[in-house]
Structure 1
Amino acid sequence: MEDQSRLPYKKKQNASFNYHKLESDSPRSFAGDYDFGKSADRRFAYSRQASFRQSIPTAEPHTPISINLSNGYFLHNSAEDKLLSKDLDEKFSFISLIFGGLRSGNKQMRRLFVLISLNVAYSTVELCIGLFTGRVGLVSDAFHLTFGCGLLTFSLFAMAASRQKPDSIYTYGYKRLEVLSAFTNALFLLFMSFSIAVEALHAFIQDESDHKHYLIISAITNLMVNLIGVWFFRSYARINLVYRKAEDMNYHSVCLHVLADSIRSAGLILASWLLSLGVNNAEVLCLGLVSVTVFMLVMPLFKTTGGVLLQMAPPSISSSALSKCWRQVNSREDISEVSQARFWELVPGHIIGSISLQVKKGMDDHPILQYVHGLYHDLGVKDLTVETDRA
């Protein structure tokens, strides 16, 4: 029988490798550049498309594997899988991730932690005062702040978790957590904008003419706390921000979160002052203005983060540039057809693509793969999967 000993392999580039058997004598589909120990040189790994479909229907995805150099088969390792699952549980302990990031000296994480601590302390005091005095408005505002603190805590967790390296479960890493956190913050702020608009409509119907003084004191205190957060993240206090990294999205969402809360508190203070001057419907006007302002601030972030999560075509590469590359590949004499060209952003600054080619019979795949990869790499595509088939 053939020796089925398991030998470790080391990944040398970011490339997905889902194939069950290597067939180096007749390459068909580019998979990546690997180093299979000391007994093999660096090489491009290829596999037939048909072989791939037939050989892995029962294989579990994302399973740690070893490779046997004698026959090229991948061998699944359930023991490694269990150890990896245990390591992930330990590595992704919520508290250890956050405090590990704080100890690492990340200035933005420390600032966010201070901001969350201030908001938690203030909302706790406000809740206690509201419960003891029976002020429903204070209790309601305390719950609003508590929910906001939960979202900011998720942003802090995303900052810490995104620093973890890729593994066999999340092969692209954890950077998209920051995009998800920014999207969640934007969704919450849109909901807050809608609730403020409903509050303004309610004030118009009820025709309320004054504010309760304790709510004004609460708004002033809340404004002072949130202005600290605005100062911490002031470099991200712009509507249309150019996102070069996933961190930019998360930091921008945190800034918009505290900025929207500050605008809400300022609107309540302004409405109270106008009412004291005898301005009719001052609360309706101020809350309506706050609602529209928050909506306009948050909508660009919501659209951008939603586009990344829905794998929209990368905005950093124009459609005309992608079409030009497609025409250049299709014009080669050794290619009969180009199909299924798909490109998207994993996170800002990391573009992924896949493309399928039909190669004419008798043509060598290797120069075609080198040409296509070089062409799209110059365009800014970092990870590209090219599937080839014979015409």
Structure 2
Amino acid sequence: MHDHAPTPGGGIRGAGSRRLLAMSLAITTVVMVVQIVGAAISGSLALLADAAHMFTDAAALVIALIASIVASRPANDRRTFGYQRAEVLGALVNGVILIVLAGWVGFEGVRRLIEPGEVEVAGTLMLVVAVVGLVANGVAMWLLSAAQRTNLNVRGAYLEVLGDLIGSAAVIVAAIVIVTTGWTQVDAIASLFIAVMIIPRAVGLLREVVSVLAESAPKGTHVAEIRDHILSTDGVVDVHDVHVWQLTRGAPVFTAHVVVDAAALADGRASGILTRLQSCLSNHFDVEHSTFQLEPAGHVEHEAHA
């Protein structure tokens, strides 16, 4: 037999973690609204770009929280896997919105660089709003700092907030330059910097959506390694028709046909083999939904004939 070390899961599994994420979402959303209002009043494109940057985090948190609730709904005869794909559909919409926002911010930033002075930027108000954003992001990071060491989902939110912190810092630098020198073009430069930060994350989100919808193996999952673990289980002779995909992030599904030694089938050890295989997938590869078809040698030829 082989030993399996538990692997942390990617889902939201606990009221404590969910509560922390909800608090971070509340802070992020409030600051995002303040930045949008501040951008409209001050004329700062950088503030608006930073609000779009914070939208990426708010959207990710909303998707995760809603998906955790929707996914808890029981499966039925119509949706046999339940509603876990809700997260993927939401991520698809958010990814498209982010690409559009980043494109518009980039276009507007270049336009303001080419035509300086067309828009007046209130540097003082811009600075105040940016500082509020920096402080709020700092508080959110503090809330998540302890849990992010042990929870992967909270870790992801922590890194997202860190990105917001960097964006707010860029706006603060731009606001200080405007207040002290009057050079308003730095606002456009800061907005372009933030837009560049948004695009890779949006593209990565869409790439993950495509991977899930194409039913590709989850990132970091090595089918060959899973196959080796199955083959090393006592009583297993061969394995074929191995398939692994994911319903949504952190919800992998696995199926395989496993050829079992005839003596094991005759001795009634099939149930024990099935339990060990499912435990292997659950504990070592974090696959909670696995389906194995146990079959005797020669059955694969029968399948091909059928």
CA distance in 2, matches of 1:137, 1:125: 10
What secondary structure does 2:107 align onto?
A: helix
Give aligned-pair identity as a percent: 15
Return the offset for 1:354. 0.6
Question: Is the aligned partner of 1:375 residue 2:277?
Answer: yes
Q: Which residue of 1 aligns with 2:106?
A: 197
Q: Is the 8 A contact 1:346 1:352 kept in 2?
A: yes
CA distance in 1, matches of 2:119, 2:44: 11
Q: Is the 8 A contact 2:63 2:90 kept in 1?
A: yes
Q: Which runs of 5+ in 1 are unaligned?
A: 1-101
Shift in alpha-carbon separation, 1:225–1:183, aligned structure 2, 3 A: farther
Q: Is the 8 A contact 1:339 1:356 kept in 2?
A: yes
Return the offset for 1:151. 3.7
Return the offset for 1:158. 1.0
Return the offset for 1:223. 4.8
Of Structure 1 and Structure 2, which has the larger fraction of its residues in helix?
A: 2
Q: Which has the higher contact order (CA 8 A, sep 6+)?
A: 2
Paired residue total? 268
Deviation track 1:22-47 (CA, whole Å, cap 9, x = no partner) reads: xxxxxxxxxxxxxxxxxxxxxxxxxx
CA distance in 2, matches of 1:230, 1:303: 30
Among 216, 240, 243, the alignment partner of 1:312 is 216
Return the offset for 1:298. 6.1
CA distance in 1, matches of 2:156, 2:129: 26
Shift in alpha-carbon separation, 1:170–1:224, aligned structure 2, 3 A: farther
Question: Is the aligned partner of 1:224 residue 2:132?
Answer: yes
Deviation track 1:33-65 (CA, whole Å, cap 9, x = no partner) reads: xxxxxxxxxxxxxxxxxxxxxxxxxxxxxxxxx
Q: Which residue of 2 aligns with 1:15?
A: none
Return the offset for 1:341. 0.6
What secondary structure does 2:243 align onto?
A: strand
Q: Is the 8 A contact 1:182 1:249 kept in 2?
A: no
Q: Which runs of 5+ in 2 are unaligned?
A: 1-14
Shift in alpha-carbon separation, 1:198–1:266, aligned structure 2, 3 A: farther
Return the offset for 1:342. 0.8
Residue identity in the other structure for 1:112:
L
CA distance in 2, matches of 1:323, 1:283: 54
Among 66, 69, 72, the alignment partner of 1:164 is 72
Residue identity in the other structure for 1:356:
H
Q: Is the 8 A contact 1:189 1:260 kept in 2?
A: no
Q: Which residue of 1 aligns with 2:225?
A: 321
Residue identity in the other structure for 1:217:
L
User: In the TM superposition, what are the counterparts of 1:170-189 in structure 2 within 5 Å?
Assistant: 172=81, 177=86, 188-189=97-98
Shift in alpha-carbon separation, 1:192–1:226, aligned structure 2, 3 A: farther
Return the offset for 1:201. 2.4
What secondary structure does 2:218 align onto?
A: coil
Shift in alpha-carbon separation, 1:289–1:125, aligned structure 2, 3 A: closer
